[in-house]
Amino acid sequence: MILYSFRRCPYAMRARLALLVAGIQVELREIVLRNKAPEFLETSPKGTVPVLVTDDQVIEESLDIMLWALGRNDPEGWLDMPDEGHQIIATIDGPFKTALDRYKYDTRYGSNAEEEREKAALILRNLDEKLQKTRWLMADKPTLADMATITFIRQFANTDRTWFDAQDWTALRHWLDTFLASKRYNAIMDKYPKWSSGDPATYWPEYPCTPTRPFAGPT
């Protein structure tokens, strides 16, 4: 199987998270978005990452990649969550991501960055209320609701980390920082050179297994 990916893309990051936890090894092809490999565009003309090529299909949406991987192997029960979890994912993929893009890239969109930041912040404050009750969004263990959304909240936080850290959402910040300090986050963020046709195959993860205590942060 082949995964076309881009290290910092939050969509590609969440796809790699699911493949990692499912223990599915792929040939990783790192794409540079400003100079896309012709083979990548032939495989997926829409030209966005991630794209997973399996034996019998091409999966072009990150959430579909997550569901495909977890459908094959879900050792931590990420799919075991109530419907509310799917609603949270839809909110982050929809209105939150729209506001995030118009906050982070306000010049491109001609938007008011502060207004868009506040739209996104309203959603995050609701998540903070949930995280005051449980360690993760749905329970005291991570589920798909966490792993399908947290990479976008990382992107939001990094847009202005000083502002983000000054907000009164202690539980949300702890949730995000726990993920960023985890072995699993480090595993999906290894750097690889741009892929070109003819390069030796890079297999990822090198050892397709679930790390022990993957969300254990520093003591």
DSSP state letters, 77-135: -TT---HHHHHHHHHIIIIIHHHHHHHHTHHHHT--HHHHHHHHHHHHHHHHHHHTTSS
130/158 same-domain check: yes
62/105 same-domain check: no
50/103 same-domain check: no
Work out the burial of residue 83: count CB atoms within 10 Å of its CB; fewer than 13 is exposed, 13-18 middle, 19 or more buried: exposed
Average pLDDT over residues 87-108: 98
Residue 218 resides in a domain: no
Q: Where does the pLDDT of residue 217 fall: very low under 50, low under 70, confident under 90, or very high at 90 and above?
A: very low
Whether residue 81 is predicted with pLDDT greater than 90 in this model: the reply is yes
Residue 67, both tokens: 């569901």
203 pairs with which residues across the strands? 27
149/119 same-domain check: yes
Taking the CA atoms of 162, 164, 168 and 173 in sequence, report the sign of the dihedral they define. negative
Residue 49 resides in a domain: yes
Q: Where does the pLDDT of residue 204 fall: very low under 50, low under 70, confident under 90, or very high at 90 and above?
A: very high
172/92 same-domain check: yes
Using CA atoms, how far apart are residues 69 and 16, in angstroms rounded to an integer? 10
Using CA atoms, how far apart are residues 203 and 22, in angstroms rounded to an integer? 15
Q: pLDDT tens-digit profile of 61-75?
A: 999 999 999 999 999
CATH number at residue 38: 3.40.30.10
Q: pLDDT tens-digit profile of 133-186?
A: 999 999 999 999 999 999 999 999 999 999 999 999 999 999 999 999 999 999
Residue 142 resides in a domain: yes
Q: Which domain holds residue 162?
A: 83-180
34/93 same-domain check: no
Residue 135 resides in a domain: yes
- Kindly state the helix (H) or strand (E) to which residue 37 belongs, with its residue range: none
For residues 138 and 124, the answer to whether their CB atoms sit within 8 Å is no
How much is the pTM? Answer: 0.92
**Rg (Cα) of the chain, in Å, rounded?**
17
Q: Percent of the chain scored above 90 by pLDDT? A: 92
Overall domain count for the chain: 2
Q: What is the mean pLDDT of the chain?
A: 93
Q: Where does the pLDDT of residue 219 fall: very low under 50, low under 70, confident under 90, or very high at 90 and above?
A: very low
